[in-house]
Amino acid sequence: MADTGASPLPSTPQARSPLFRAEQFVWLTARVLEQRLLAYHFLHGTPDAVEAALDAYRNEDGGYGHALEPDLRGPVSQPLHAAHALRVLDAIGRCGGQRVERVCRYLTSVSTADGALPAIHPSQRGYPAAPSVPVLDDPPSELLVTGPVVGLLHRNEVWHAWLFRATDFCWQAVESLEKSHPHEVQAAVAFLDSVPDRPRAEAAADRLGRMVREQRLAALDPDRLTAYPVAPGYAPAEHHFPHDFARSPDSLARAWFTDDEMARSLDHLASEQQDDGGWPIRRRSWSPAPALEARPMVTIAALRTLRSYGRFVG
């Protein structure tokens, strides 16, 4: 191979920082949307650039498709795609106005009889999807999807007729949980962190936190992972840690863990950055393309979590 004359990357502290290494990984592997999200969060990028990239996934029905959520392939709108789009809009301060009104109209059109959201609408049939999300003709309502969507809309003070019954569904689902799994708990936290009735949310979160500890859903000691069972159906290494439930210090889930437990969790998160600069996905991989597209998302989320707790990222 010919000598290109290129100089090696500088070995300065900034060049070795988690952010610099993650930035190289994102430029190398990510979709335009995640490239612009990284730039927005860490490199003085603009919300207009992020929103322009997100618009490429929007459909005429007001929903989103085209594998915005990598585990669902194909062009059709799905509730999981809409939830993903709302997270992006919330992250850039654009979760409001006509764009969200259109999303709410879409959510109304695909809601179940009790006013909540299914994980997968039957329109996904015929397109590739992760085996963990089977397509059913009459899918049930799922807290897994409805909770984060309702929480984000409340957080941004969006008021729409769809919200009333969906909020009631989430309260009933959260307050009746007796046994759960990490992804469902994360959805419950997303709802409780933003729903307006704060005393009720705090009481529900306190009960949920006790359940998480009793059922050992959070791995409190990253050095002793064999002591914490992985939930049925999850990948063998798909443990969840305190930072997975309390993504920022102001989450209600932060009170579930001691300072030492959270510090160990964040140490473990920081240590998971891989040689290529990205963070790994722990869930079960079913196809190369979704796994490749998900890693930049996980990487940006890791950086944001570390920064929210005051950890150095660069």
Backbone angles phi, psi at 141, to 5 degrees: -70, 145
Domain boundaries, the chain: 177-314
Backbone angles phi, psi at 78, to 5 degrees: -145, 150
State the pTM of this model. 0.93
DSSP string covering 6-34, please?
PPPPP-STTTTSHHHHHHHHHHHH--HHH
Q: How far apart are CA 128 and CA 287, in angstroms?
A: 10
Q: What pLDDT is recorded for position 13?
A: 52
In 3D, which of 38, 62, 42 has the Cα closest to residue 50? 38
Q: How far apart are CA 131 and CA 154, in angstroms?
A: 31
Q: What pLDDT is recorded for position 16?
A: 85
HSE, side-chain direction, 13 A CA sphere, residue 234:
19
Q: How far apart are CA 238 and CA 219, in angstroms?
A: 10
- Cβ-contact 94, 108 below 8 angstroms: no
Q: What pLDDT is recorded for position 276?
A: 97
Backbone angles phi, psi at 185, to 5 degrees: -65, -40
* Angle, helix 161-175 to helix 198-214, in steps of 10 degrees: 40
pLDDT, block means (10 residues), the chain with 314 residues: 44 76 98 98 97 98 98 98 98 96 97 96 97 93 98 97 97 97 98 98 98 98 95 93 98 98 98 98 93 97 98 96
Residue 72 is classified by DSSP as: B
Rg (CA), the chain: 20
Q: Is the dihedral of CA 231, 234, 239, 240 positive or negative?
A: negative
